[in-house]
Amino acid sequence: MLEYDFMRNAFAAAAAVAIVAGTVGYFLVLRGQTFAGHALAHVGFTGATGAALIGLAPLWGLVLMTVAAGIGMGAIGERLAQRDVAIGLVLALSLGFGLLFLHFYTAYASQATALLFGNVLAVERGTVWTLLALGAVGLGALAVISRPLLFASLQPELAEAKGVSLRRYSMLFLAIVALTTAECAQIVGVLLVFALMVGPAAAAQRLTGRVATGVLLSALLALAEAWLGIALAYETDWPSSFWITALSAAVYLFAGLPRLIGQRIAAAQAG
């Protein structure tokens, strides 16, 4: 399998994306902003179609549009109660522009399908290096803001009283989420970003309550799901995006079994 260049590129690209997605996704789930990742993925599709319309690489349209939208979401809705409204407004506006871009550039339909559902087996070596660079930027930025971000996520009122700007860290974090979303779209497509950003993180939080352990476990789960999904796609000739999403759902469901079994045992003992 690894004798082929396209397979080596696929595994390298998946590793670069999965580690970042699992790490960033943990904080995304912790902050209750999973809808933001979903919305940014759709915004990224709009950016990619717009970039193609003016002759640029779709990846850079993805990055620029998602980062701008992420900053906008963070600036508009720094409070928990405001986030869904802010995200919905940005999402609706971006989808409207996406329809407009497709109206003017209908020849983009075949590439649009690849963006929607992903095609990691078509990733070129140059794209792998780009994904590695974007991933390094995302992880580096997250490392810088991780402590105040965690404080603002777990105890927002106390953090604000201590002088931590909730709006500033919301904007910075959603910009990092935007970069990660743009990377994930290259692997599983904009419609399936949840598979790498939310699934492993949610499973990790089911398995452990420790933040550091949970972040590491989330990244490892995302990496394992991505690599195993590519291997299964090679063996079965089924889409790699299907396998990655199926593995993500399966791991999440199995992660809940220990707690469920424990609850059943406790209920039986109490009865």
Closest by CA position to 228, among listed 242, 243, 212: 243
When mean pLDDT is compared across 19-33, 87-101, 184-198, 245-259, the lowest value belongs to 87-101
What average pLDDT score do residues 137-156 get? 90
pTM, full prediction:
0.82
The 10 Å Cβ neighbour count of residue 96 is: 10
Residues 6+ apart with CB under 8 A from 225: 18, 195, 196, 199, 200, 244, 247, 248, 251
Three-point CA angle 180, 224, 250, nearest 5°: 95
- On whether residue 137 sits in a domain, the answer given is yes
Tokens for 249, please give them.
């759902």
Residue 225 within a domain: no
DSSP secondary structure of 108-141: GHHHHHHHHH--GGG--HHHHHHHHHHHHHHHHH
pLDDT over 60 at 65, yes or no: yes
Residue 141 has pLDDT above 90, yes or no: yes
Query: What local confidence, expressed as pLDDT, does residue 80 receive?
Result: 44
Residue 129 falls inside a structural domain? yes
Q: Is residue 22 part of a domain?
A: yes
Q: What is the pLDDT of residue 222?
A: 94
Q: What is the pLDDT of residue 140?
A: 94
Question: Structural domain of residue 28, as residue ranges?
Answer: 5-190
244 part of a folded domain = no
Through-space distance between the first and last CA atoms of the chain, rounded to whole angstroms: 54
Alpha carbon 146 to chain centroid, angstroms: 17
- Token code pair at residue 90: 């940005």
Q: How many residues does the chain have?
A: 271
Domain-located, residue 253: no
What local confidence, expressed as pLDDT, does residue 144 receive?
Answer: 93
Confidence tier at 81 by pLDDT (50, 70, 90) = very low
Evaluate whether 31 touches 153 at the Cβ level (below 8 Å). Answer: yes
Query: Has residue 74 been placed in a domain?
Result: yes
| Residue 118 domain-assigned (yes or no) | yes
Question: Comparing 117-131, 205-219, 257-271, which segment has the lowest mean pLDDT?
Answer: 257-271
Q: What is the CATH number of the domain that holds 80?
A: 1.10.3470.10
Count of domains forming the chain = 1
Radius of gyration of the CA atoms of the chain, in A: 19
Report the candidate in 226, 224, 271, 3 with the shortest Cα–Cα distance to residue 118.
226
